Amino acid sequence: MFKSPTKNHFSLIFERLAAILAFFSVYLINSLKDHGWEIFLPSFYIKLFSTAASGGLKSAFGFLAFFLFVLVSLFLSYRYWRKTVFYIEGDDFIYKRDTMFKVDSRLPIQNIAMVNVESNIFERLVGTAKVKIDLNSSRTANKTDFKFVLKRGDAALLKESLLSIKSRHSAETAVSESDVSCAPLSNDERAEERTHLITFSAADALRHKLLSFPVIQFFLTITVVFILPMLKTGGNPNMNRLWFLLFLTLFGSVGSIVKGALDLGDYTVEQDSKLLYISCGILNKRNYVFERDKINAVVINQPIFARLFGLCSVSIAVVGLGNEKNETTHLSLTIKKDKADELLLKCAPDFVCKSERVRTHPFSIAFPVLRSFIYAAAVMLLSTGYRHIYVISAFVFILLFIGSFVEFFGRYYAADDDVVCYSKGMFNRSHGIVKYGDIQDVKIKTNILLKKMRLGRMSFSILSASAMKKHRTGWFDISLFEQAAGKVVDTEEMRR
């Protein structure tokens, strides 16, 4: 199958009409913002239809414009479906799109970094699934290269076909580099060899979302949306509007937690000799398959609530994982630190630093403390015209001042012959582990004053989606970073 040109499932036409639903959503949000609770009353709609009826020619033209918009969207979606095909030719994947913006691509299948299969509620109802193919390329690391909507069985078959060709090519490469026979595994053999590593239920996913909740950003939003308008001098605030905005903020936060728990429910991680398999989702099903050697970095996350209970989650940087909002970068949801270490030893044993940690230089505490003063002064300037301005500024300064010392004592750097390790974060702490061979560029930053003290900070980037592409350490002795940069260069020369 897939040896001849294959089209997407025709339901793609209706999925591409989602822009119209987005248009209605924007209109609804604007109506909520302008009219508040009135939108839930019958009188609002009676008034709306009366206004439309009295509009005459203007309303007629508005309806005609919307109708034309729907027709054009439908035509473009139909043409995209009709003129887009793909097929497999030998070890190459062929993609052709004969629309206004023509595309004719041929790519070696061994260059595919990840194959994802997912299905939202609509796709599950019509019996289809979406196949996403990501290339191991820095140019397209922030977006999915190819998307196809197929029948559920065909989607699984396309994934297995691509994985089989990749497995055969990897086996041939291994044979050419050694004298050991290394036959590729068939689909059935891979299924038998696959071992289960960890599973998280819907309750575990809900706990993960609660412990990962951005509490600082939440209280900042509440302050800006609800508290500051009440503290404004002169005039009385519109309390109905403020209460409605507060309700929307709370409702959005709860909805985000519930949606995240549904997206991460039934989270399962499995592996075989070469591949990692991640599946998750209760309503929207997602399946990720990628080679373990495609992992470019490991990040251990400890949000403020999770740290209180000695818990953490593990994220990985893989091209194609997390380059869209509905995709996850997690290898593990929130678990105990020792459990996370055990999982990493099984899935990513190369990402272990054997060197001792070096604490950040004592002088580096000056930077976050100075930042606290600057932020407090900025709040004071921007809060002109509000009551209790000094209390607000003092609260911001105290919070950031305490956070500065928390960040200072949590900063470290470590490097051995294989990996670089670092930590960052004030209340939400993260620990990054990156192999030298996966680092694309290194920059060591300092200034005139710190250069005399031999202090600097290192920033580097890896091949990943934007959320995990850039990494930056704290302030340490420059010689440590120079050694790391030298090892990056040596690793690149060894590859050549």
Confidence class of residue 494 from pLDDT cuts 50, 70 and 90? low
User: Over the chain, what is the mean pLDDT?
Assistant: 81
Q: 123 or 230: whose pLDDT is higher? A: 123
Confidence class of residue 266 from pLDDT cuts 50, 70 and 90? very high
Quote the tokens at residue 263: 């997206």
CA–CA distance, 365 with 348 (Å, rounded to integer):
34
- Pick the closest to residue 8 from 117, 129, 135, 133 (CA basis): 129
CA–CA distance, 434 with 299 (Å, rounded to integer):
9
The mean pLDDT of 280-293, rounded to a whole number, is: 88
Residue 366 has pLDDT above 90, yes or no: no
- Give the DSSP letter of residue 322: S
What 3-state DSSP class applies to 188? helix
Residue 35 has pLDDT above 70, yes or no: no
H/E run at residue 456: strand 455-462
Q: Mind listing the pLDDT tens digit for each residue in 43-65?
A: 655 665 665 556 555 554 555 66
Q: Mind listing the pLDDT tens digit for each residue in 370-392?
A: 888 888 888 777 777 777 777 77
Residue 185 has pLDDT above 60, yes or no: no
In single-letter form, the type of residue at position 329 comes to T
CA–CA distance, 3 with 93 (Å, rounded to integer):
10
Alpha helix segments (H runs only) across 265-328 = 304-308
Q: So what's the pLDDT on residue 8?
A: 92
H/E run at residue 162: helix 152-177
Q: Mind listing the pLDDT tens digit for each residue in 466-481?
A: 667 888 998 898 999 9
Q: What is the pTM of this model?
A: 0.78
Q: So what's the pLDDT on residue 191?
A: 56
